[in-house]
Chain A
């Protein structure tokens, strides 16, 4: 029973890491580049929720389902716009430069967002209380206690994973994304609007980050400008663990990391070392399977 309860806790946490990892992996898949500012879009999504929730609450009534859905949509839309703006201003001009340049820029954008957010004129660096979006119930299933928040998170992650898979495999835009990830120049020659595809990818990834941000804030209703750093780092590790560029791999990596963290945290001998264990396993897996668990090793023609 203890095992099952911890498993559910781990899944609830892992689902959030999975959502964030999906964003990292999608952008990497299409552009071969890690967007370090992704974790800060998560934070911006949480703050959008903070400001939008009271206003939407006045329209729809407090703690209503329609209100909550609206908050998610608003945050996703705002962050998609932010993500596309960042791409347009910071990454697109560097499209043909070495990958290292864009990577450093991404780190720069991340730090810019974090420290601007900490300034008292913007969000301020003190933690703020995140409003309650939905009534939270702990449901009894046998001797297991499952929080409605965890159920919501897992459900949303599964739905979004299926939606992502559908978009990438079954729509024209998805085919275009796959073409761009295969070979950008050839895709451009074939008439694929590369700029629009990349914008779309960023927008989609940022929307996912925003939704993850709000789910994370529902779990731990204390938000501050640096809140994205820790989950972002773990989700990045999860994405690499599952195979960077691989959508199911990101989810697998996220869930695995969430489970590891929860089980190790609850064990009295391993509790202090749970982060070391999580990252240690990452190193081991990469030693033996460098492409990650579900990744396929790509041969680069030199």
Chain B
């Protein structure tokens, strides 16, 4: 008995020592920045793109000497496009890894899941591309470097009545996604209030594979255009089945369409459709050109998409705030991020307003001959 109790006490002490040593490490000489993204799963291209952009930014800054005399250490967690995972990821980054700030996520649902945790722990969180207005409403530690769906929905409504000359628009919403529901609502409000007619409003579950029931009803209702604020995987399948049913009305949507996979899966069926997004890699600004060149060099000739650009900008904004605050202490850092004004990001000039959203321009892309083609810019 005596030996066993001693053995037990020693193992408990060792375990305690181990866990304490893994606790918030003090000054390791690096500044820890956390990132959570959907590197795998249904929306894998969102996470991989934004991660690559962020990584490029961190590497560039470290190569130039780091920030406040220290190098940056990027700790990335994969949330696998699953609900529930962002909470785990962010908890780990904050409690176990002791990060000073969190970058993430692209999808609004997953940002909304992580934001309360960051807010509660007073760790600033910068979302690269979540557009649902509710994300920054969680608290004053939550920021974004992109526009919100209030702006995007309105811009899409103007696009529908203007460029598409559509009097009647059908709406097909993904009920599993906060982003989709929010954007549909914003679009509907603006389109209806400016005199447009909303045709049928139907929905689907993200991940469904058969949409012919909904599409047949929409076709019979004969809208001038179909609004589809979904994510690229479902959009590709819907476009394919719409073509099979002989639907000729153009289909348009928001930045959830932004992915290479839309073209590889949708192939010819997505031609002739439109979507709005944060920036176009061929938009011609010098910051964008510089970024595209650096990205291609780092990632073996791969062309970046808007999510990569925003991932890059979110990291740059954070570092710029660190420089202005002169510290990584959370209250000062938060204040510095909130004061970001006219920061020259690769996607454009970033100024954060009092809601901590970025006032940025939006671009429209047309899909032509299996490629994305920049069509127009809409300023805020």
Q: Do A and B bind each other?
A: yes
A residues whose Cβ falls under 8 Å from a Cβ of B: 2, 5-6, 9-10, 12-13, 118, 120, 124-127, 129, 136, 138, 145, 147, 149, 216, 219-222, 224, 227, 230-231, 261-268, 271-272, 274-275
> Is B210's CB under 8 angstroms from A221's CB?
no
A-B contact pairs, 20 of them (CB 8 A): A10-B213, A118-B40, A126-B40, A126-B41, A129-B264, A136-B244, A138-B244, A138-B245, A147-B244, A149-B244, A219-B210, A220-B209, A222-B237, A222-B265, A230-B207, A266-B213, A266-B216, A268-B200, A271-B214, A274-B213
A126 touches B44 (CB 8 A): yes
* CB–CB B40/A127 < 8 A: no
When C-beta atoms are compared, the residue in chain B nearest to A267 turns out to be: B217
Contact A266:B246 (CB < 8 A) given known A9-B216, A126-B40, A127-B261: no
- Collect the chain B residues with CB atoms within 8 Å of residue A127's CB: 42, 233, 261, 265
Distance, CA A200 to CA B220, complexed state (A):
47
With A6-B213, A9-B216, A138-B245 known, 7 other A-B pairs at CB within 8 A are A9-B210, A125-B42, A126-B44, A126-B45, A138-B244, A220-B240, A271-B202
Q: Is B201 an interface residue (CB 8 A)?
A: yes
Q: Could you count the A-B residue pairs with CB atoms below 8 Å apart for me: how many are there?
A: 105
Query: Given the complex, which residues of A lie within 8 Å of B212, measured CB to CB?
Result: 9, 12-13, 262
Q: Which 5 A-B pairs have the closest CB atoms?
A: A265-B213, A220-B209, A266-B217, A126-B44, A262-B213
Q: Which residue of chain B has the shortest Cβ distance to A148 in the bound complex? A: B244
B80 within 8 A of A: yes
- In the complex formed, the residue of A with least CB distance to B245 is A145
Q: Is B205 an interface residue (CB 8 A)?
A: yes
Q: Does B178 contact A (CB under 8 A)?
A: no
Query: B73 interface residue, CB < 8 Å from A?
Result: no
Q: What's the Cα separation between A118 and B261 when bound, in Å? A: 18
What chain A residues lie within 8 Å of B241 (beta carbons)? Answer: 219-220
A125 lies within 8 A of B44 (CB) = yes
Residue of B with least CB distance to A271? B202
B213 touches A264 (CB 8 A): yes
Which chain B positions have C-beta within 8 A of A2?
216-217, 220
Chain A hits for B81, CB < 8 A: 125
Interchain nearest-CB distance for A189 vs B (Å): 47
Name the interface size band of chain B.
35 or more
Is B203 part of the contact surface with A, judged by Cβ < 8 Å?
yes
Cβ-defined contact, A271 with B203, below 8 A: yes
Bound CA span A271–B201, Å: 9
The answer for the CA separation of A223 and B58 in the assembled complex, in Å, is: 34
Chain B nearest CB, measured from A212 CB (Å): 12
- With CB as the reference atom, state the residue of chain A lying closest to B212: A9
Min CB gap A39→B, angstroms: 13
Contact check, B236 vs A275: say whether CB atoms are below 8 A apart.
no
Contact B216 A5 (CB under 8 A): yes
Which chain A residues border B246 with CB–CB below 8 Å? 138, 145
Given A2-B217, A265-B213, A268-B201; A125-B244 close (CB under 8 Å): no
Beta-carbon contacts under 8 Å, B92-111 to A: none
Complex-state Cα separation, A231 to B213, whole angstroms? 16
Q: Give min CB distance, A132 to chain B, whole Å.
A: 8
Chain B residues 38 to 73 lying within 8 A of chain A, measured CB to CB, are 40-42, 44-45
In the bound complex, CA of A224 to CA of B44 (Å) = 12
**B216: shortest Cβ distance to chain A, in Å?**
5
Question: Are A272 and B203 closer than 8 Å at their CB atoms?
Answer: yes
Which residues of A are found within 8 Å of B245, using beta-carbon distances?
A: 138, 145, 147
Which residues from B are CB-within-8-Å of A9? 210, 212-213, 216
CA distance A65 to B243 in the complex (A): 22
0/1 string, B194-230, CB within 8 A of A gives 1? 0000001111110111111110110010000000000
User: Would you call B175 an interface residue if the criterion is a C-beta within 8 Å of the partner chain's C-beta atoms?
Assistant: yes
A171 to B271 alpha-carbon distance, docked (Å): 52
Complex CA–CA separation, A279 to B261 (angstroms):
33
Residues of B within 8 A of A271 (CB): 202-203, 214
Known: A10-B213, A125-B80, A216-B209. A265 touches B40 (CB 8 A): no
Do the beta carbons of B205 and A275 come within 8 Å of each other?
A: yes
Residues in A whose Cβ lies below 8 Å from that of B210: 9, 13, 219-220, 261-262
Say whether, besides A136-B244, A138-B246, A221 and B265 are in contact (CB < 8 Å).
yes
Give the residue of A125, A138, A149, A219 whose beta carbon is less than 8 angstroms from that of B209: A219
Known: A118-B40, A268-B202, A272-B203. A129 touches B213 (CB 8 A): no
Contact of B244 among A10, A126, A145, A227 (CB under 8 A): A145
User: How distant is the Cα of A264 from the Cα of B214 in the complex, in angstroms?
Assistant: 9
A224 and B265 contact, CB distance less than 8 A: no
